[in-house]
């Protein structure tokens, strides 16, 4: 899951993910309250990165939930 989220984030950052698929991923994050309705591509990348860090915490990589760390533009 960690690797899949990293690949997804990278594909969005590089523009390799088609808009339809990116929109479906974003819609799911919006439905779950993890992304604001007025989001942009950077916001989606941030939400995916934050999810990846939560998965790492759940997998035992961190002692406590990590804070959201802003991504570079």
Q: What is the pLDDT of residue 3?
A: 95
Provide the sign of the torsion angle of the four alpha carbons 34, 12, 51, 67, taken in this order: negative
Percent of residues, the chain, with pLDDT higher than 90:
95
Q: What is the pLDDT of residue 71?
A: 87
**pLDDT tier at 72, thresholds 50, 70, 90:** confident
Identify the DSSP state of 66.
P
Give pLDDT tens digits for 16-51.
Answer: 999 999 999 999 999 999 999 999 999 999 999 999
Domain ranges of the chain: 2-58
Q: What is the pLDDT of residue 12?
A: 93
């Amino acid at each position: 899951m960690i690797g899949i989220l990293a690949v997804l984030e990278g594909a969005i950052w590089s523009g390799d993910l088609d808009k339809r698929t990116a929109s479906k991923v974003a819609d799911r994050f919006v439905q779950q309250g993890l992304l604001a309705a007025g989001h942009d591509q950077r916001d989606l990348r941030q939400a995916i990165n934050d999810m990846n860090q939560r998965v790492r915490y759940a997998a035992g990589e961190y002692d406590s939930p990590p804070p959201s760390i802003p991504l570079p533009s």
